[in-house]
């Protein structure tokens, strides 16, 4: 395979035909679906059962906070995973990291499904839960950047936004799988659900991981990485170089992600807790709302990816942040109607526009902000640091604000402030749509 040594490696020169980039995008997306499924089922279990099974000797509020705390551990492990796999992804290659991270995630998830509860082994139960959640986070922390780069560095320049968005579709499809499986097992009698039903989503992961591993093993290494390796242009310290030599790009990536990631985990974790515990809504209604919203986002994310190829990446973040500000208060008011059609409708709109606008171009925009020799490290760390702060802490902070204010006012204010951070970052960021990789 001939590789160009100047400018953007053209599609023709590296032999990446439309059918091949489609195969690469599909392989990356399938793996990402599995990774997100693994990560998201934990959030649903934390919201629905972990407080009862792993923290039974405390009040419901403290139990919920403790369960969400173990959930947050996975987010704080993600930057570590990003640093480790970012380093080796920029030094050794993109493909090998994709396979390794999938294996790590699968092991952590299946073992959670096998864990004895507090009733059987006492304090060791939550301790082991935290350790396995940490392993999950390390795996996911390195996976996203590799999947994004494998697609981006094979894609034609004028379609990078679209093909990158196919990696992002892994999130709503993983959410569909996670929500769908939990919706099924939650229909079991309460005793069966708490006894063994909640374990099924975790144990099913082993099947998905095997399928994903086989598919990803057939994908070729990134041509841009091979080009850098052949010319001896690899960074010796890609993580440090990504942060210290690209501070603006690194901080921009964090700022761009902070609103989107907080918004989506308020929708998929905090609202599950709030709706079932405080509004006394059935679990099935909220899970159905998330399921339908995720199905719609499977369509809107590629559309927004295409749109980012037409109008640029920055406008997507500006629109998403402004939408979040506009819906921050009405979101909870509409939930309080307890009308099933309204709740499902608002979940669909909130996920696609408050999350999808910004999430769709991320797999393209974040890597574009960095040079090729630190791209894995820079894009991954920016993504995962924001995820740790916004995704890991937002459900916990929201729960605390809810208890302090006696309502959702504090949560809405938090969402508006985070949207303001993203808005400032988007305005200050450079547009990368026409830049060479």
Q: Report the alpha-carbon distance of residue 378 to residue 244 in Å, rounded.
A: 10
Within a domain: residue 186? yes
**What total number of domains does the chain contain?**
1
| Residue that is written with structure tokens 């986070």 in the block | 137
Domain that holds residue 118: 18-428
24-62 b/e (C-beta count within 10 Å ≥ 16 → b): bbebbbbbbbbbbbbbbbbbbbbbbbbbbbbbeeeeeee
Distances (CA, A) of 150 to 70, 111, 219, 239: 31, 29, 9, 19
Task: Give residue 10's pLDDT.
Answer: 40
Q: Report the alpha-carbon distance of residue 131 to residue 109 in Å, rounded.
A: 11
Task: Give residue 62's pLDDT.
Answer: 67
Within a domain: residue 4? no
Nearest residue to 348 (alpha-carbon basis) of 300, 419, 412: 300
Within a domain: residue 12? no
Within a domain: residue 10? no
Q: Is 156 helix (H, G, I), strand (E, B) or coil?
A: coil
Residue 430, φ and ψ in degrees, nearest 5: -90, 150
- Token readout for 98 is 């994709």
Q: Are 142 and 78 in contact (CB under 8 A)?
A: no
| Residue that is written with structure tokens 């669909």 in the block | 348
Task: Give residue 6's pLDDT.
Answer: 39
Within a domain: residue 433? no
Within a domain: residue 13? no
- Token readout for 3 is 């590789």
CA 126 remoteness from chain centre: 24
Q: Are 112 and 56 in contact (CB under 8 A)?
A: no
Distances (CA, A) of 302 to 150, 170, 307: 17, 11, 9
Distances (CA, A) of 116 to 50, 63, 255: 12, 18, 40
74-129 pLDDT per residue, tens: 778 889 988 998 888 888 888 888 788 888 888 888 998 999 988 888 888 888 88
Q: Give alpha helix (H) positions in 153-245.
A: 160-168, 170-185, 190-195, 200-203, 205-216, 223-230, 238-244
Task: Collect the ranges in the chain with pLDDT lower than 50.
Answer: 1-15
CATH of the domain at 292: 1.20.1250.20
Task: Give residue 5's pLDDT.
Answer: 36
- Eight-class DSSP state of 153: T
- Eight-class DSSP state of 197: G
Q: Are 340 and 208 in contact (CB under 8 A)?
A: no
Within a domain: residue 104? yes
Q: Are 223 and 153 in contact (CB under 8 A)?
A: yes
Element (H, E) at 297: helix 283-311
- Token readout for 167 is 């990696």
Task: Give residue 336's pLDDT.
Answer: 93
Within a domain: residue 3? no
């Amino acid at each position: 395979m001939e590789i160009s040594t100047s400018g953007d490696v053209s599609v023709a020169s590296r032999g990446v035909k439309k059918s091949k980039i489609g195969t690469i995008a599909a392989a990356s997306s399938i793996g990402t679906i599995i990774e997100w499924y693994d990560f998201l089922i934990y959030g649903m279990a934390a919201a629905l059962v972990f407080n009862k099974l792993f923290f039974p000797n405390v009040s419901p509020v403290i139990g919920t906070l403790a369960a969400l705390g173990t959930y947050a551990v996975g987010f704080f492990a993600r930057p570590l995973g990003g640093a480790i796999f970012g380093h080796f992804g920029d030094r050794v290659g993109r493909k090998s990291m994709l396979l390794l991270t999938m294996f790590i995630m699968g092991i952590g998830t299946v073992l959670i499904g096998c864990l004895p509860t507090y009733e059987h082994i006492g304090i060791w139960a939550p301790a082991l839960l935290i350790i396995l959640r940490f392993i999950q986070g390390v795996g996911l922390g390195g996976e996203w950047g590799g999947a994004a780069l494998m697609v981006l560095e094979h894609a034609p320049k004028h379609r990078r936004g679209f093909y990158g968005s196919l990696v992002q579709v892994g999130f709503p499809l993983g959410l569909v799988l996670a929500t769908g499986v939990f919706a099924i097992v939650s229909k079991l009698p309460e005793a069966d659900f708490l006894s063994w039903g909640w374990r099924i989503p975790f144990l099913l992961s082993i099947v998905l991981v095997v399928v994903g591993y086989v598919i990803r093993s057939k994908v070729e290494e990134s041509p841009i990485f091979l080009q850098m390796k052949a010319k001896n242009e690899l960074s010796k310290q890609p993580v440090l170089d990504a942060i210290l030599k690209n501070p603006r790009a690194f901080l921009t990536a964090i700022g761009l992600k902070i609103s989107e990631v907080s918004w989506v985990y308020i929708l998929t974790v905090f609202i599950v807790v709030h709706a079932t515990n405080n509004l006394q809504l059935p679990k099935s209604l909220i899970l159905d709302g998330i399921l339908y919203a995720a199905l719609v986002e499977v369509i809107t994310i590629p559309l927004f990816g295409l749109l980012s190829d037409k109008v640029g990446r920055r406008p997507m973040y500006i629109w998403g942040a402004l939408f979040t500000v506009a819906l921050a208060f009405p979101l909870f008011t509409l939930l309080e109607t307890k009308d099933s059609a309204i709740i499902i409708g608002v979940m669909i709109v909130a996920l696609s526009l408050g999350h999808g606008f910004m999430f769709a171009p991320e797999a393209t925009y974040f890597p574009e902000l960095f040079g090729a020799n630190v791209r894995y490290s820079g894009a991954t760390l920016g993504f995962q640091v924001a995820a740790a702060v916004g995704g890991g802490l937002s459900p916990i902070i929201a729960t605390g604000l809810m208890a302090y204010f006696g309502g959702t006012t504090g949560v809405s204010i938090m969402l508006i402030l985070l949207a303001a951070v993203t808005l400032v970052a988007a305005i200050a960021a450079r547009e990368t749509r026409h830049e060479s990789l």
